[in-house]
Amino acid sequence: MKLKPMLLAVSLGWWISPAGAVPIVTFGGSGLATGIQDLVVDGTAYDVSFVPGSYASVFASSTPTFLANGPGAEDAAAAMVSVISAQSGLVRTTTVATGDGLEVPYGTFQFSQSGVLHTDYLAAQLGTNAGITAWRTFADFVDSTSDDLSPFGVQFAVFQPVPDAGETLSLLALSLLALACARLAIGPGGRMGSIPV
């Protein structure tokens, strides 16, 4: 195996990047929006899913991406409004008549009321209301982690970082290069071989 093709693959790995990916609103079979692919927030690309349920159930086994990062959650909400607003027509995420809402949680806090400990969450909020024909951000939202607001048209935006294609290709190319070097360095019978260039 020649090294020149391997070195080319390694150099291409650092050149290829998803930074030019265009965010796309994804829709389910019912015509409702279910998420956004390749949403860039503060320089990082995410695939976003719109998930109904309570905070406690949606984030039972994972941590919200913007936990302890209120400004990041606000940036995420603004970026989603921008992408959703670029679609033709009003994008709906639910069939609830009162409107559509998405929350980007960024914090939790506990308090005691009448001797009972409660846990609430804080979230950046975006959506529409009945009579409003465009998506926009709203004031931050506070609610109990056990409340499910999906009957009112509110869902959580769950973020998954998009793997960097350049890094993935670079790691693959470096792995192949190491394998090629190992195969050439130790030839048949355990003798050292030569590395052609």
* Residue 185 confidence (pLDDT) above 50: yes
CA atoms within 13 A on the CB side of 16: 16
At 135-180, the pLDDT tens digits run 999 999 999 999 999 999 999 999 999 987 555 555 555 666 666 5
Q: d(Cα 46, Cα 170) in Å, to the nearest integer?
A: 20
* Residue 15 confidence (pLDDT) above 60: no
Neighbours of 65 (CB within 10 A): 21
> In this predicted structure, what is the pLDDT of residue 163?
87
Q: What is the pTM of this model?
A: 0.74
The token pair at 91 is: 């994008």
Residues paired with residue 35 on neighbouring β-strands, in sequence order: 26, 49
